[in-house]
Amino acid sequence: MDDEPLVQVSGLHKRYGAAHAVRGLNLTLQRGQILGLLGANGAGKTTTMAMLAGVLAPTCGSILIAGHDLAKHPLAAKASLGYLPEAAPLYPELSVDEFLRHCAILRGVPRAHVNAAVARSKLRCALTDTGKRLLGNLSKGYRQRVGIAQAIVHEPDLVILDEPTSGLDPAQLREIRSLIRELGAQHAVVLSTHLLPEAQHVCDQVQIIHQGELALSAP
Ligand code: ATP
């Protein structure tokens, strides 16, 4: 059972009218792996990530997460994943603690465990001293850390990060890359990027997407 891939994607396809954003993508991810989807603007990365996270319905194809079919058993499949979209959905008027508590409750963490779950995700994302700060006042790097903290607050098996380092300065970039590597020790991670060095530094496995199709898989 433990040898079963955590994520199995077969024949994934997304069409918008006559345009094909994703065309027949297959991928497999084992627990403990960091997979990078690398591609130019418009290659289909965000579309793929949104389908993997269960927030966008594929035109066809199947996605199994921890053995659960995302289309047939969405609640069970989504319980095993956390998702940071390209634009982190943060409420600027909430503090870090308020926001993470809200996310933990939405993710089904039992009320008695919410404070512990928030403290744990803050610790892992180096946010322990920022709990009372308003999200709207944080730097971009800290906002990304909060975005990652909300994605792991319920301790999912799979963490999906869409362009997690986009717009960061070099110091923030290093911090977030090292955080992602640390996440890889406990979760499987899928991240998207258009930067080759990012994929090389952070990922165990890279799939290059071109015009919605897999162009190259390495190693
Ligand atoms: P970027 O790096 O610029 O975010 P991407 O690799 O994430 O690009 P997608 O956003 O997945 O690419 O887009 C893939 C293709 O699908 C593009 O041609 C885009 O214009 C198209 N597309 C995405 N969303 C829609 C939509 N809602 N309606 C129509 N076309 C769309």
187 lines ligand 1 (CB under 6 A): no
Mean pLDDT of 16-25: 94
Mean pLDDT of 16-28: 94
> Residue 2's pLDDT band (boundaries 50, 70, 90)?
low
Mean pLDDT of 133-161: 94
Query: What does the pLDDT read at residue 31?
Result: 85
How confident is the model over 150-188, as pLDDT tens digits? Answer: 999 999 999 999 999 888 888 888 888 998 998 888 889
Give the sign of the dihedral formed by CA 82, CA 88, CA 93, CA 97: positive
Query: What does the pLDDT read at residue 169?
Result: 86
Mutate to test the pocket of ligand 1, among 45, 84, 213 (most ligand atoms within 8 A of CB): 45
Phi, psi of 148 (to 5 degrees): -70, -40
Query: What does the pLDDT read at residue 153?
Result: 96
The alpha carbon of 212 and the centre of ligand 1 are apart by a number of angstroms equal to: 9
The alpha carbon of 44 and the centre of ligand 1 are apart by a number of angstroms equal to: 6
Name which of 122, 124, 126, 116 is nearest 185 in CA terms. 124
How confident is the model over 44-74, as pLDDT tens digits? Answer: 999 999 999 999 999 999 999 999 999 999 9
Mutate to test the pocket of ligand 1, among 12, 16, 162 (most ligand atoms within 8 A of CB): 16
193 lines ligand 1 (CB under 6 A): no
The alpha carbon of 2 and the centre of ligand 1 are apart by a number of angstroms equal to: 35
How confident is the model over 80-116, as pLDDT tens digits? Answer: 999 999 888 889 999 999 999 999 999 999 999 999 9
Alpha helices, H only, 54-169: 74-79, 96-106, 111-124, 140-152
Listed in sequence order, the residues at least 6 apart from 101 whose beta carbon sits closer than 8 Å to its beta carbon are: 114, 115, 118
Starting at the earlier edge strand, list the strands of the sheet with 205-210. Answer: 81-84, 158-162, 188-193, 34-38, 205-210, 213-218
The token duo for 90 is: 């943060």
